[in-house]
Amino acid sequence: MSITTNLKFENATDDSLEHATQKNNTPPRQGVIDELAEDSEGAAYSTGILPSQELERLVRVTREITAVDEIQDDQFQPASLDLRLGPIAYRVRASFLPGKDATVEQRLDDLAMHKMDITSGGVLERGCVYIVPLLEHISLRHRTSAMGNPKSSTGRLDVFTRLITDHGTEFDRVRDGYKGPLYAEVSPRTFSVLVRKGSRLSQLRIRRGRPPSTDESMRRLQEEYQLVGSSISEDEIRNGVPVSVDVRGDESSRLIGYKAKSYSGLIDVDKIRHYDLEEFWEPVYAPNRGGLILDPADFYILASLEAVKVPPTHAAEMLAYDTLVGEFRVHYAGFFDPGFGHPAAGGEGSRAVLEVRSYEVPFVIEHGQVVGRLTYERLTAQPNRLYGSGVKSSYQRQGIALSKHFKLPSRA
């Protein structure tokens, strides 16, 4: 059965700096270079996930990340960089990976059905697959790799988004030393969406080397920070820290989540707190007895039973799929930033919101059932901004939260 529970740095060469400056058309200010160079020298580890200040250094100094249009300050998150759609979208016959012998453009020659200019806006229809070249390009160094993931708001709209690279053999994984363009595969599942050049559907994390991430290290983190609740035993922490689902809710409202309405209207991904949730969602309440039956035709927003914390020194990721836990996928958007749910960033009590879809058959999900696992990986240094503190954060201290496109419930 199957569920979906959707950190020393080298100097850049003169040639690479000159090429990147021409591409961005915005040479970095000397003061910015000096400040970022000082930040990198203060890194605690030579391997790990790169924090915000180091990502900025890759953009402003070493030019390992460049873009057709200048990269904006608000694209930098505590441990990731927001990626932007370019001006063209290709409707394709099917999802694909280019494989080690082909570029994405070469595969598009075979699979593209329609080329669409989305500079000022274009509709990506539900049930269809699109390939969109991104504005950002990367030129990674030796022992430097990257990972892609949908942004939280993208996953909560049931917009399936994956990163693709030239000669790629895996989705969302950018191999060591990759140099080239980035592409987003976008497939809206429930709502058709309006996007445009610059819309941000996905994000990129960059890793130096192969930092250790073991069950024992996560057990130590759990003991120190209570990453996921306080009642998890050491034996339960294997291949990550378990996360379970709440299908009882609080006694007063009994609200446990939302179910997407079929054939709702169009959603503009760049509009914030704009839509009435009642037009797109219906509430889901705790069953009178037993678990919640997931209908394979429906998309659900639920919440974890436990509060979740990510310490400032680490980043977390929800493992996307485990055939051992059931016939559903949980959490499309798997990145959790440093500071999420952490008291120092005002996040005490934050729960993980789970995007849940059953596959092929109805499935009963029980209260407290493990639906995913969080893996924690250290950063090279603590970021200069934390989720919820110094970063505009839509989901800190969240309970059951829809995406930021919808108006908050009146009771909030």
Q: Tell me, what's the pLDDT at 3?
A: 40
Stretch among 188-202, 229-243, 264-278 having the lowest mean pLDDT: 229-243
Cβ-based burial of 198 (10 A; exposed 0-12, middle 13-18, buried ≥19): middle
Domain extent at residue 312:
215-378
Cβ-based burial of 82 (10 A; exposed 0-12, middle 13-18, buried ≥19): middle
Q: Tell me, what's the pLDDT at 171?
A: 94
**Residue showing tokens 């229809």:** 125
Q: Tell me, what's the pLDDT at 252?
A: 85
Q: Which of 36-50, 56-70, 318-332, 352-366 has the highest mean pLDDT?
A: 56-70
Q: Is residue 389 part of a domain?
A: no
Query: β-pairing, 81-83 with 122-124?
Result: unpaired
Neighbours of 73 (CB within 10 A): 7
Q: Is residue 48 part of a domain?
A: no
Q: Is residue 398 part of a domain?
A: no
If pLDDT is split at 50, 70 and 90, which confidence band does 17 have?
Answer: very low
Answer for the pair 62, 12: CB distance below 8 angstroms, yes or no.
yes
CATH number of the structural domain spanning residue 240: 2.70.40.10
If pLDDT is split at 50, 70 and 90, which confidence band does 34 have?
Answer: very low
For residue 289, pLDDT over 60 is answered with yes
For residue 8, pLDDT over 70 is answered with no
**Interatomic CA distance for residues 390 and 388, integer angstroms:** 6
Q: Is 60 helix (H, G, I), strand (E, B) or coil?
A: helix
If pLDDT is split at 50, 70 and 90, which confidence band does 2 have?
Answer: very low
List the one residue out of 94, 238, 103 whose CA is nearest residue 183.
103
Quote the pTM value.
0.86
For residue 129, pLDDT over 90 is answered with yes
Q: Tell me, what's the pLDDT at 255?
A: 94
Q: Is residue 276 part of a domain?
A: yes
Q: Is residue 61 part of a domain?
A: no
Q: Is residue 38 part of a domain?
A: no
Answer for the pair 346, 390: CB distance below 8 angstroms, yes or no.
no
For residue 192, pLDDT over 70 is answered with yes
Q: Is residue 46 part of a domain?
A: no
DSSP labels, 99-147: -TT--HHHHHHHHEEEEEE-SS-EEE-TT-EEEEEEEEEEE--TTEEEE
Question: In the chain, pLDDT over 90 holds for what percent of residues?
Answer: 66
Q: Is residue 309 part of a domain?
A: yes
Mean of the pLDDT values across residues 92-113? 97
If pLDDT is split at 50, 70 and 90, which confidence band does 163 have?
Answer: very high
For residue 384, pLDDT over 50 is answered with yes
Stretch among 42-56, 152-166, 337-351 having the lowest mean pLDDT: 337-351
Q: Tell me, what's the pLDDT at 10?
A: 31
For residue 325, pLDDT over 70 is answered with no
**Interatomic CA distance for residues 404 and 153, integer angstroms:** 6
373: Cβ–Cβ under 8 A, 6 or more apart, which residues? 239, 240, 241, 242, 243, 318, 319, 322
The C-alpha angle 26, 28, 33, rounded to 5 degrees, equals: 165
Q: Tell me, what's the pLDDT at 398?
A: 59
Number of helices (H) and strands (E), helices first, in the chain?
6, 26
Backbone angles phi, psi at 252, to 5 degrees: -75, -50
> What is the tally of structural domains in the chain?
1
Q: Is 227 helix (H, G, I), strand (E, B) or coil?
A: coil
Tell me: the pLDDT tens digits for 45-102? 999 999 999 999 999 999 999 999 999 999 999 999 999 999 999 999 999 999 999 9
Answer for the pair 228, 256: CB distance below 8 angstroms, yes or no.
no
